[in-house]
Chains A and B, each alone.
Chain A
Amino acid sequence: MELISAFAGGLATVMQPQTLLYCFIGCFLGTFIGVLPGIGSMAAIAMILPLSFHLEPTTALVMIAGVYYGAEYGGSIASILMNIPGTPSSSITCIDGYPMAREGRAGLALFVTSIASFGGGMIGMVVMAALSPALARMALSFGPAEYFSVILLGLVAASAVSNGGAVKGVAMVTLGLMLGTVGVDLTTGDLRFTMGVPELRDGVNLVIVAMGLFGVGELIASIRANAGGRATSVDYRSNTWPTRDEWRRTWGPIWRGGAIGSFFGALPGTGQTVASAVGYAVEKKLSPNRGMFGKGAIEGVTVPESANNAATQTAFIPTLTLGVPGSASMALVIGALMIHGITPGPRILTDHPDLFWGLVASFLVGNVILLILNVPLIGMWVKLLQIPYRFMYPTIIVLICIGVYSLNNNVFDIWLTLVFGIAGYLMRLFRFEPAPLLIGFVLGPMMEEQLRRAMLLSRGDPMVFLDRPISAALIAATLGILVFGLLAGLRARRRLRLAALPADE
C-alpha cells in the first residue's frame, strides 16, 4: 500500500507539464541516437548533460533516464532493418531480427521488439520499486568502511569484465580515480595537479570527460561505420500484426527476458549487453522452436529486447540507493545529480522521495511514449536511417562544441574536450576501454573521502575493512570478481595465441 501511494506521488510529479515535456524530449533523443549506428546512449547522455543543469533535478533525471532507455528502443531499429546494431546490447537482436526482415517480416519484428521492450521495461520498473526501499534500508547501516568497500566492488566489477581485459579495465578505473584528484582537495583546501591553470581549480568537468571520451571518440569511429550508405529498402509496413500463435510465442520470452534483465541490470559491471546475451542463450535452451533461432525466430528478437530494457531500469537500483553506478551511463547520472547538489545513496528515498518515485513513475510514462514513438511513428525513424550520415556527423560535432562551450562560455573547455577526444579514440584503437575511466573519475572523490573517514574513525587501522562483516563480504566479492576477470583474460589470451600459431608457422 505504501509502495502504491509512493508510486502515485511519483506519477503526479512526472505528469506535470514540464516534466512530461522533458520526459518526451529524453525519449525522443534517446531513440534518435539509438537509431544511429555507432553512437550509444553514453554519448547522448553526455550531450544532454549541459541542458539538464538548467532544469529542476527531478525533471533532469527523468530526461536523462528517457535518453538512456530510449536508446535501447531505437537501437533495435537499425539492428532489424540493416543488421547494424544501434547500441551494443541490440547486437543480439540482429541475430534473428535481420533474418526476419529479409523474409519480409520487418514490420512484425519491429512491432514485437517494441512490445517486448515495453514489457521488459515494466518488469524492471516493478523490480526497482519493490527492491530499492529494502536495499536502501540495509545501506543505512553502512559506515565509511562499507561505503569504501562497496565503491571498490562497483569499480572492480565495472572494469574486470571490460572488453580489453581485466588488467586494462582496472588500469582505466585507476586512471579515472587519479584524474578525479585534479582540483581543490575538499578536505584540506590544497590545490592538486592544476598546473597553475585557474580553469582546473574545480577539477575537470564531468561533461568534458564524457563528451571527449564518448561523444568525440565514438563520432570519429562512427564516420567510417556509416560510410557505406544507410538507405534501407526493407518493407516494414506490411505483416506488422502478430498472429495468435506469434502472440503466444511472445509472452513467455517477455517475462523471462524481463526477469533475467532485471537481475543483470542491478549487478554492477554487467548491464544490458550481458542481460541480452544471457536471455537469448536461456531462451534458446528452453524454446521448443530452438531450431529456428538465428533464422528469424520471433523469440530471438523478443527476449533480448525485453532483457535489455529491464536492465536499463534496474541499473538505477544500485546507482540511486547505494550511490554506486554499474556502468558509465549510470556514473553520468550520479554526476548529474551531484551537480544538482544531490548525493545518491540510501537517504535519497527519505530526503528526495519525489525525485526517486518521480523517476520510477517516469519509466511507465516514458515507456508508453516510446511505444507510441516506435509503433505508429516507426516510419519516421526509418526515414532518419535514410538520411546520409555525412549530413549528420558535422551537425553532431557542432552540438558537442556548443554543449561544452555552454558550460562556462570558455573555449578552454573545448580544448580540453579535444584532448579527451583524441585520448578516447586512441584508447578505442588499442582496446583501453574508456567506460571504466569515467566510472573511476566519478567515484574517485567519493572513494577518497570514505577512505579518509574510515581511517580517521578507526584511528589508522586498515583492518577496519575486514573487521566489519558487510565490508569484509564486499572485499571478498571484489577479490572474487578480480580473480575471475584475470583468469578469463588469461584464457582468452591463450586462445588467441593458439589461434595465431598456425599462421606463424
Chain B
Amino acid sequence: MPGDATETSTDAAARPHARWGAAGAVFLIALAAVFMAGGLELGLGVLFRPGTGAFPFFTGAILAALAAVTVVQDLADPGLAERPDWVSFAAIAAALAVFAVSADRLGLVPAAFLTTVVASVPDRSLSFPGKAALGAVVAAGAWVLFIQLLGLPFRALAFDLFGGA
C-alpha cells in the first residue's frame, strides 16, 4: 500500500552498535557527578538528621557506580541497538519546538496548525496542500474541543511575534 507509507528512507539506516549505549552511561556519570557536587554543597548532615544534600549525593553515587558498570557492559556488548528513525525523531522534536515558540506568540489555533504540518514532514505520500489541510482540520478540532467545549483558558489567536503572552 504505497500511498500509505510514511518516510521510509530511514529504514535503510544501519542499526547502530549497542556499544553506543556506553555514551549514554557516560552522560549518566556526568549527571551523577553534578548531583553529588550539588549534594555536597547543600550539606550531607549526619545520620541522625540527614541534610538536604544527603539523598541526592548518595543516589548520585549509586548512579555513578551503576553507570560505570553499564559502560563496561555496553562496550563488551556484541549486539546491535534498535534501528533509529532520525527523520521522525527530528520532525517530532521540531513540532514540539514549533508549538513552544508559537503557542504564546500566535495562539492555539496557528500553533496547532504549524505543529501538525511540521510533524507530518516524514510522510512523503502527503503533499504540502494535504499536510496543510490536515493541519487546518486538527487546528479547528483543537479550537472546538479545548476552547469551545472544555473552556480552557487558551487564546485562539494572538499575534504577539516579539514577546510572550
Interface residues of A (CB under 8 A from B): 165, 167-168, 170-171, 174-175, 177-178, 181, 185, 187-188, 190, 192-193, 216, 219-221, 223-224, 226-231, 388-391, 393-395, 397-398, 401-402, 405-406, 409, 411, 414-415, 417-418, 421-422, 425-432, 444, 448, 451-452, 455-456, 459-462, 493, 496-497, 500, 504
> 16 more A-B contacts (CB under 8 A) besides A224-B11, A398-B115?
A165-B73, A181-B35, A221-B85, A224-B8, A393-B119, A394-B138, A398-B116, A402-B108, A402-B142, A411-B103, A414-B99, A426-B24, A430-B20, A431-B21, A432-B24, A462-B47
Cα separation A388 to B120 with both chains bound (whole Å): 12
A411 / chain B contacts, CB cutoff of 8 Å: 99-101, 103-104, 164
Check A455 against B50 for contact (C-beta < 8 Å): yes
Most buried by B among A187, A451, A455: A455
| A409-B154 in contact given A227-B6, A398-B115, A429-B81 (Cβ < 8 Å) | yes
**Can you list 15 A-B contacts with CB-CB less than 8 angstroms, sorted by A residue number?**
A188-B52, A221-B85, A224-B88, A229-B5, A393-B119, A394-B134, A397-B115, A401-B99, A402-B142, A426-B24, A429-B81, A429-B84, A430-B81, A448-B55, A496-B79
Asked whether, in the complex, the Cβ of B77 is within 8 Å of the Cβ of A427, the reply is no
In Å, the complex CA distance between A247 and B109 comes to 52
Q: CB-CB < 8 A to B165: which residues of A?
A: 409
SS of A interface (majority): helix
The CA-CA distance from A174 to B47 in the complex, in Å, is: 21
Interface size class of B (residues with CB under 8 A): 35 or more
Kindly state the separation between the CA atoms of A497 and B75 in the bound complex, as whole angstroms: 12
Residues of A within 8 A of B89 (CB): 220, 422, 425
Binding site for A on B (CB under 8 A): 1, 4-8, 10-11, 16, 18, 20-21, 24-25, 28, 31-32, 34-35, 38, 42, 46-53, 55-56, 59-60, 62-63, 66-67, 69-70, 73-74, 76-79, 81-82, 84-85, 88-89, 92-93, 95-97, 99-101, 103-104, 108, 111-112, 115-117, 119-120, 122-123, 125-126, 134-135, 138, 141-142, 146, 152-154, 164-165
**Are B4's CB and A229's CB within 8 A?**
yes
The 3 closest A-B pairs by CB, nearest first: A229-B1, A460-B48, A460-B47
Q: Is the CB of B50 within 8 A of A452?
A: yes
A216 to B92, CA, bound (A): 8
For residue A377, give the distance in angstroms from its CB to the closest CB of chain B: 22
The smallest C-beta distance from B55 to any residue of chain A, in angstroms, reads 4
